Amino acid sequence: MVARVIVVGSVNVDLVVRAPRLPRPGETVSGGEFARHDGGKGGNQAIAAARLGAWTALIGALGDDDLGADARAALDAEGVITDALATVRDTPTGVALIVVDPAGENLIAVAPGANARLTPTLVAAALERLAVSATDVVLVGHEIPTPTAREALRRARGAGATTILNPAPAAGLDRGVLGLADVLTPNRGELAELAGAETRRTGRRDRGTDAPALMAAALVEPSSEGEGPRAILVSLGASGAILVRPGRPATELAAPSVDAVDATGAGDALNGALAAGLAAGHGLEHAAHRAVLAATRSTLRHGARAGLVTLGELDALVGGATQCGAPTPAAKMENA
């Protein structure tokens, strides 16, 4: 069975300035270097999965401009199926403005453009054409309208597919959407926003990954507002990630120490690798371990896509990490 990943999400063009440091509000920092890259979380995640050997299709929207044509060509060149990538007339392609400091930290502002015109109807029709089924993994981002993300998850869940929701940004998501995800993949900040105000951290803010684990545990448990996701993989940057499932202790997934140069796209590398791993039949814990390694490796090169690994590269990383005592393959998703 061919491993199929269907990504529903955004396509942008990234305009990047590598600056001596990140500016504070109202401040201008000069002396940077400019570069243009193809990006958007949906596009990045689709390429991340495709490089790892998954048959990958992208459902999204581009503007009818030169940026859109270039973005489509870049996806085609990576082997991503773009038949379900709509072109919206009289609308610009999405653009992200990114500032990166020497340590690899970044600030990002996005003008969504055509991404905001991706409707639930367009997504429903695309999923029907692709004949989404129980053997597929559907990865949905949130740089598209919330009703569209909800419809994508609902349709995929109804077809029996494994669903992943990347809640970036987290604003506007509720239990009705989160409960449609088999795996939720926030970073620390997105998790805090989803879990509520700082006061809901139970007074344990000073215990490292313990506070994210507590917040994630609260989200996976059913509440009066509805069901939660079946699992949450929280990315913690250089610290790796934690995997939280109902009724189990949190699993810490350490990241190897590297000299990062650009964290832009690391979350996309993690999501794409997670989807590809699950589609290939890896258990959830092992797929998450592979995803952390892929995300860490991606920070060694500038740009959101330049550091995305191939299957051979990731297998080599996994082999080296396993020799150092990292997790070995876990049970299948249904038992994870």
At residue 1, the pLDDT reads 54
User: Which 8-state DSSP code applies to residue 87?
Assistant: E
Q: How far apart are CA 291 and CA 296, in angstroms?
A: 9
At residue 224, the pLDDT reads 63
Q: Which residues are catalytic?
A: 268
At residue 243, the pLDDT reads 97
At residue 225, the pLDDT reads 67
Give per-10-residue mean pLDDT for the chain (336 aa): 88 93 95 92 97 97 96 97 96 93 86 96 97 97 97 97 96 92 96 66 43 89 79 94 93 88 87 97 96 93 86 89 45 41
The distance of Cα 17 from the centroid of its chain, to the nearest Å, equals 22
At residue 14, the pLDDT reads 86
Helix, strand, or coil (residue 113): helix
In DSSP terms, 37 is beta-bridged to 14
Q: How far apart are CA 147 and CA 123, in angstroms?
A: 10
Q: How far apart are CA 138 and CA 325, in angstroms?
A: 31
pLDDT in tens, 82-114: 999 999 999 999 998 989 899 878 898 889 999
Query: By C-alpha distance, which of 79, 151, 113 is closest to 11?
Result: 113
Contacts of 151 (CB under 8 A, 6+ apart): 120, 123, 124
In DSSP terms, 137 is beta-bridged to 5, 162
3-state secondary structure 146-169: HHHHHHHHHHHHHCCCEEEEECCC
- Structural domains in the chain, CATH included, are 4-22+32-328 (3.40.1190.20)
